[in-house]
A and B are shown apart, each in its own frame.
Chain A
Amino acid sequence: MKKNVTARFGLLIAIMLALTVVLAACGGSNSSNAPANNGKNTEKPADKVKLKVATWAGAEELREFEELVAKVNTTATDYVIEVQSIPADYYQKLQTMIAGKQSPDFMWLSQEYIAQYASLGAIAPLDEHLNGLASYKADDYFQGTIDVGQYKDKLYALPWISQPYMLYYNQDMFEKAGVELPTNDWTWEDFIAAGKQLTKDGEWGALLNNIPTAMYTWSYGGDVFDKDGNIKLDSPESIKGLEMYQSVVKSGIAPARAQADSMGNGDMFKTGKVAMFVGGAGDDFEKSSSFKVGMVLPPHGTEKVTFSWIGVTAMASSTKNPEIATKALVDMTNAIHQWKVVAPTKSGFDLIKTSRPEKEYAVETIRQASEVARGFNNQPKQGEIDGAIWEKLTQAIEKGDDVNAAVKSTIDKINTITK
């Protein structure tokens, strides 16, 4: 009898253990991945739509963002937003969450992911819900920034930051070498000529690593893809731009890519090793350099244009109440425009004067750049396409290979990827 009781007890323990294993595997997402919350919006009335925004922000940026979201929540009557911080392996985790049907309602994205996420149905078009929403002012956005949110004529994301690329220069080096200072009207030829005068032992005229290959094509009216996704890389305009790229490389005004990478691109400029640097308008050279820094529009070919790094927030297609969510997205994005510099909107633009007073000398130049700044015409398989452009085009041009042959090889590879 005693033996029978012991056996039954053992059996009970075994069953409990087995159940524990199964239940542990089925655990929800409310444990280690619980959203970061600043504690200010934990009390949520039941009638408010609960929304989550995923961000790569960490540390100080996260704290500021949480404060901003808390403020938005206090004025909202029909929704409440929670911040979900993913400071490391952001896109990998986001992909896993979406695959596991645990997608946040909003997600920060870098522009190159928009077409990819839209084509896979992970994010939803906003147009229908934006119509008639007074808080959304389409005309306020600089055109180039809102364009990157488009995929197949629909708007999928709202930009919250735009960093147009500017040509920074070391005024001391220019004056010492007796070279005329750059202007907003500089052409690539002017850039090369000045760079040659400034290049001497241990010092270079310019740094090219940051300039996207596509930007050379844009400055002659070309592109890699047009807005409809057709390849434009072999157009005469694009070829002309790429030939100019090769001329700049061949002119010897810049250190080799690997050398500049290992020395730190921005650091080379900060330490006075290069006289000109193309970087985002928000870069902190004015504060961190010991010389006088100037800023103008990047050199141009037949068209004045510059690249801009644009961050956006997109809305998940799985969000349960897209109408309210869109309203929340607009409110949150409008609030970010009063926080992040450089704002992608005309109304938010002047924030730079107060939040970054050291940039005041160049505010009008940055405004001009914002008006001509743009992102890529991103494609659904942009990740692979970027790899092909780097491998077949950028490296080939920098090695001195024939531009037409490099373009053909790149197009062949792109066609293989997109077929």
Chain B
Amino acid sequence: MRSKKYTGYMYISPWIIGFLVFTVAPLVFAFYVGLTEWDTFNKPKYVGFDNYLNLMKDEDFQKALWVTIRFAIISVPLGIATSLLIAILVNTKVKGVYFFRTALYLPAIVSGVSISLLWKWILDTDFGLINLLLSKIGIAPLGWLTEGSLVMPSYLMMVFWGAGGGMLTYLAGLQDIPGHLYEAADIDGANAFQKFKHITLTMLTPVIFYNLIMGIVGAMRKFGDAYIIGGADNEGRFYMIYLYENAFKFFKMGYATAMAWILFVIIMLLTLMAFKSSSAWVYYESEAKPKKRKGR
């Protein structure tokens, strides 16, 4: 009996060893590194929670966090709304809908670096597409990436580009909504807005919830395009960019690791908040209980 128990453990040992070596050990090591001053070339020096305390006083850290939070607050709902709108549009039975679906999804499969370079050109002050279009209606060129106040709006514009990726999950969700719900609503005399609010939106809440979580995580970890595009007045210096600079430019791996843990806690808290709030607004069909009718 006892040997059978161990045999079971042995069977799952490849996974257990992989999990311990590649997940648990790095996590423990990263926690330790966050408590050290480590230039990566020499042995880490234990400094307790100094890295965390210094981060609280670091103006560049505060700025990077603020830039990232501002971006997340606006970009996540913006991304959800845009993706949902596109999904609804391409869920209609119009001619060429498959072409539109493909065209709108294409940006999601293009390399991030190419998209960043493309946007860098689109936003260019002198040769950019946006300023070229604005000049047609008599608006002087704007420094989208060179004027601090315009950097955030520029990054938010890019959110529209990625909306096609989110569209796919909403489209799947939309096609999963049973047609009889709309038929019943029609019989009850519901108008289009009421059908959208009470059926479409309600039935899509699990997909919206999924995209909300993924959106928060993605926004807080923004790196690739910001690394390439940048932006004046440190408005393009997102949290992960500053973390990368500390790790690989300033040789402050302990400090950078402490930043990573703070980001982990922030994302965890935001995700927990989203989960806590989900019972109030996310509707799972499988969990629905039939209401008891009076008189029966």
A-to-B contact residues, CB < 8 Å: 7, 10-11, 14-15, 17-18, 20-22, 25, 91-92, 95-96, 98-99, 116-117, 120-122, 258-259, 262-263, 381, 383-384, 387, 391
Known: A14-B13, A259-B126, A383-B249. A120 touches B7 (CB 8 A): no
Complex Cα distance, B126 from A262, in Å, reads 7
With A and B bound together, what is the CA distance between A208 and B98 in angstroms? 52
- Roughly how many angstroms separate A91 CA and B42 CA in the complex, as a whole number? 17
Residues of B within 8 A of A17 (CB): 13-14
- B7 x A98 contact (CB < 8 A): no
Q: Known: A15-B10, A91-B248. Contact between A25 and B124, CB under 8 A?
A: no
Q: Are A262 and B250 in contact (CB under 8 A)?
A: no
Q: Closest chain B residue to A11 by CB distance? A: B10
User: Which of B15-23, B153-161, B261-269 lines the interface with chain A?
Assistant: B15-23
A11 to B234, CA, bound (A): 57
Q: Which residues of chain B from 1 to 35 have a CB within 8 Å of any chain A CB?
A: 7, 10-14, 17-18, 21-22
Among residues of B, the one whose C-beta sits closest to the C-beta of A16 is B14
* Size of B's binding interface in residues, CB under 8 A: 28
The 10 closest A-B pairs by CB, nearest first: A258-B146, A17-B14, A99-B40, A120-B41, A383-B249, A18-B13, A18-B14, A122-B41, A262-B126, A18-B17
Contact (Cβ within 8 A) A383 B40: no
**With a CB–CB cut-off of 8 A, which chain A residues contact B251?**
95, 116, 120, 383
Which residue in B12, B18, B41, B124 is a CB contact (below 8 Å) of A21? B18
B250/A25 in contact, CB under 8 A: no
Pairs across A and B, CB under 8 Å, 9 listed: A11-B10, A20-B14, A21-B18, A21-B21, A96-B40, A262-B125, A262-B126, A262-B146, A263-B126
Interface majority SS on A: helix, strand, loop or mixed? helix
Q: How far is the CA of A237 from the CA of B44 in the complex (A)?
A: 41
Query: A109 CA to B44 CA in the complex, in Å?
Result: 24
Min Cβ gap A144→B in Å is: 25
Which residues does chain B contribute within 8 Å of A7, judged by CB atoms? 7
Residues from chain B with a CB closer than 8 A to the CB of A116 are 251
Q: Is the CB of A391 within 8 A of B126?
A: no
Complex alpha-carbon distance, A236 and B251, angstroms: 33
**Cβ-based interface call for B127 (8 A):** yes
With both chains docked as a complex, state the minimum distance between the C-beta of A267 and any C-beta of chain B, in angstroms. Answer: 11
Please give me the residue from chain B that is nearest to A413 by CB atom: B59
Cβ–Cβ < 8 Å partners of A121 in chain B: 41-42
* Neighbouring B residues of A99 by C-beta, 8 Å: 40-41
In the bound assembly, the distance between CA atoms of A185 and B42 in angstroms comes to 49
Contacts of B21 in A (CB 8 A): 21-22, 25
Q: Which of A7, A11, A21, A121 has the most CB of B within 10 A?
A: A21
Q: Is the CB of B14 within 8 A of A383?
A: no
Chain A residues lying within 8 Å of B127, measured Cβ to Cβ, are: 262-263
Docked complex Cα distance between A17 and B10 (Å) = 10
B residues at A contact (CB < 8 Å): 7, 10-14, 17-18, 21-22, 39-42, 124-127, 143, 145-146, 232, 234, 245, 248-251
Chain A: CB-nearest residue to B13: A18
Residues of A within 8 A of B250 (CB): 381, 383-384
Across the interface, which residues of A come within 8 angstroms of B41, CB to CB? Answer: 95, 98-99, 117, 120-122
Complex contacts, B7 vs chain A, CB 8 Å: 7, 11
Given contacts A120-B39, A120-B41, A258-B232, 20 further A-B contacts (CB under 8 A): A7-B7, A11-B7, A11-B10, A14-B10, A17-B13, A17-B14, A18-B13, A21-B14, A21-B17, A25-B21, A91-B248, A95-B40, A95-B251, A99-B41, A121-B41, A122-B41, A259-B125, A262-B125, A383-B249, A383-B250
Tell me which of A91, A92, A117, A258 has the highest count of chain B C-beta atoms within 10 A of its own C-beta: A258
Q: Which of B13, B18, B42, B143 contacts A120 (CB 8 A)?
A: B42
Report the nearest A residue to B145, measured CB to CB: A258
Cα separation A25 to B127 with both chains bound (whole Å)? 48
**Bound complex: CA of A119 vs CA of B220, how far in Å?**
34
Residue of A nearest to B249 (CB): A383
In the complex the two chains form, what is the Cα distance from A14 to B18 in whole Å? Answer: 13
- B125 and A258 contact, CB distance less than 8 A: yes
- Residue from A14, A95, A117, A263 within 8 A of B248 (CB atoms): A95
Chain A residue with Cβ nearest B3: A7
| Complex-state Cα separation, A384 to B251, whole angstroms | 10
Q: Which of the listed residues A14, A121, A381 has the most CB atoms from chain B within 10 Å of its own CB?
A: A14
A residues less than 8 Å from B42 (CB atoms):
120-121
Expressed in whole angstroms, the Cα–Cα distance for A117 and B249 within the complex equals 12
The smallest C-beta distance from A389 to any residue of chain B, in angstroms, reads 14
Give chain A residues whose Cβ lies under 8 Å from the Cβ of B146: 258, 262
Distance A95 CA – B7 CA, assembled complex (angstroms): 43
Are A262 and B13 in contact (CB-based, < 8 A)? no
Residue numbers in B under 8 Å from A122 (CB-CB): 41
Residues on the B chain within 8 Å of A15, using CB: 10, 13
Alpha-carbon gap, A128 to B251, bound state (A):
28
Q: Which residue of B lies closest to A7 (CB)?
A: B7
CB distance from A188 to the nearest CB of B (A): 26
A11, A20, A262, A391, most chain B CB atoms within 10 A:
A262
